[in-house]
Amino acid sequence: MYISNYRRRNEAVFLVFFIFLLLCIGRLFYIQFFRSSHLASLANKQHNQLVELEPRRGAIYDCNLKMQAFNMSLDSLYAVPNSIKDKESVIDKLMPILGTDRAYLKDRLYRSKAFIWLARKLTPEKSEAIKKSNIKGLGFMKETKRIYPNSYLASHIIGFSGMDNVGLEGAERDFNQYLSGMPGWAIFLRDARLKKLDIWEKMVLPVDGLDLVLTVDEVIQYVAERELDKAFKSSRAKSASVIVMDPHTGRILAMASRPTYDLNSRSGVSKDSMRNRAICDLFEPGSVFKIVTASAALEEKKVTEEDVFFCENGAYRVGGRILHDHQSHGNLTFRQVIEESSNIGTVKVAMLLGPDTVYRYLKSFGFGSKLGFDLSGEISGMIRPVRQWSKTSITAIPIGQEVGVTALQLASAISVIANGGQLMKPYIVDSVRDNQGQIIKQNKPTLIRKVISLDTAMRIKKILTGVVEEGTGRMAKVSGFSAAGKTGTAQKLEPNGAYSHTKFVASFIGFAPAEDPLLAIVVTVDEPRGSYFGGVVAAPVFKNIAGDVIRYLKGNEMPVEGLAQ
């Protein structure tokens, strides 16, 4: 009996162990054949860390290879929340260093994650303070931050990139495909505590971005912005813009708008301040538009410089409206009509040409269509076809009413006169280069079309020189150099469609030196207060820019403060 019970107990124990063994073998088979890939993946995630390798974003240079934008390597702070035990203590230590509130840090650290960003691209001082705290569960990763050494200078041209080095405005956005490069990646080994080891299994190196070289000259840009800023503030204007162009090639040497913003500190900056007004603001040009009517009249041989026009003593009833001059004139030669900016004389010249011819020259000078500028945001302006003209349009369009233009179009148009009759495509990017200086893409001067003959251009040039010497543009005279140009004072439209008697756009377009132009300059000031005439508000800006820049280009460089060296 005793032996029989003993044997049954042994068999029962054996059976239990045998069944347990079968279960273990079954479990092993299940793990090996059905769960092996999943468990291997978990092991890889624990011991391997995939890290994206950031490429160097290309730098942006001016035409003399002075750096306008570059990347600086900075520490970014991350946390491993799952490995942090005393989270409240960590929050107390980080709050005064990072300058963030408790709610933000608590939200990040109490997440059940193996990786989370706490702060990106820290200043060296903050990074060093956190490192000294020696907090477990925190780590640093190198990232680059975009730096703009001249802050406000050329902000509307350069634009900016975001936290992840993707271009968001200006050249940074439009040429992001060249600047950004291609990221790489590496798989780093980690120990049991998830600490990254300086050992990598696999690696694909990043491809650095290409560099961008602008046509802008840093010194000319500084001078243009300095003078524009003075006029903008002194006239308490709504906005303002300036363009400095090489009239022979279409290269933009400077372009600026007001209001402006600091590229390094963009918090609270409105979208309105970021607009590049020189290419995207539409306005009626006023009397600066008379250069088209004058050029057409000479090119079509409808007038000569000494032909006389009676200017009706300042008031002329035509086409159901009364046209006024800002000053009463009797008989004026064609040359004097332009020099004194007579609306009545200009309209009489336009009537000799006829609507079709006026329209053809407007289009030929580049108005009413995009010029193919290499920054986005350029608009085409507004020139209505002749079939949409009213009976009074021939008395308005030739003097710069019932049309919409941009400052860039005006710069190209005055360059036609300065360079002998050719409309050149304006451009602001000189080249794209690699970090060894090899040119990948090169922009060159491009002729859009021949607009007027060299003879006509020379004759208009003499008339516009007279505008500065004897006419409405006397405040644009450049000390030591000759200059040519045209003033403009345009009434703005009110919401009801009537022309305002209190809101104006003051402008001046010109070039210097008159006999052999180095610069074409356009200045526009929107809604100046107090004096509002283009010859008073905008012409002095032209004068100061042209004088300093010509001396600079001729080798007599003036001291310039505030630029990164």
**Closest to 521 (Cα-Cα) out of 531, 530, 529, 513:** 513
Both tokens of 37, joined, read 């890939």
On the 0-12 / 13-18 / 19+ scale of CB atoms within 10 A, 298 is buried
Contact 538, 524 (CB under 8 A): yes
Cα–Cα dist 296/361, whole Å = 6
Under DSSP, is residue 511 helix (H, G, I), strand (E, B) or coil? Answer: strand
Sheet holding 239-245, edge to edge: 252-258, 239-245, 519-526, 499-512, 484-493
Angle of CA points 226, 232, 235, to nearest 5°? 135
Cα–Cα dist 256/430, whole Å = 18
Owner of token pair 């032996």: 3
Helix (H), strand (E) at residue 147: strand 138-147
Helix (H), strand (E) at residue 356: helix 355-364
**Closest to 459 (Cα-Cα) out of 423, 487, 424, 420:** 420
Q: How far is CA 398 from CA 50, 254, 353, 355, in A?
A: 66, 29, 10, 9
Contacting residues for 179 by C-beta, under 8 A, at least 6 apart: 57, 58, 60, 161, 167, 172, 209, 210, 211, 212
On the 0-12 / 13-18 / 19+ scale of CB atoms within 10 A, 559 is exposed
Under DSSP, is residue 245 helix (H, G, I), strand (E, B) or coil? Answer: strand
DSSP secondary structure code for residue 325 in this structure:
-
Handedness of CA 80, 84, 90, 95 (dihedral sign): positive
Contact 62, 68 (CB under 8 A): yes
Per DSSP, which regions of 314-468 are E strands? 315-318, 321-324, 331-333, 422-424, 429-433, 439-442, 447-450
Cα–Cα dist 457/465, whole Å = 12
Number of neighbours of residue 284 by Cβ within 10 angstroms: 21
Cα–Cα dist 446/426, whole Å = 8
Contact 379, 282 (CB under 8 A): yes
Please say if 287 is a catalytic residue.
yes
Under DSSP, is residue 461 helix (H, G, I), strand (E, B) or coil? Answer: helix
Q: Per the residue annotation, which of 235, 287, 341, 507 is the catalytic one?
A: 287
* Residues tagged active-site: 287
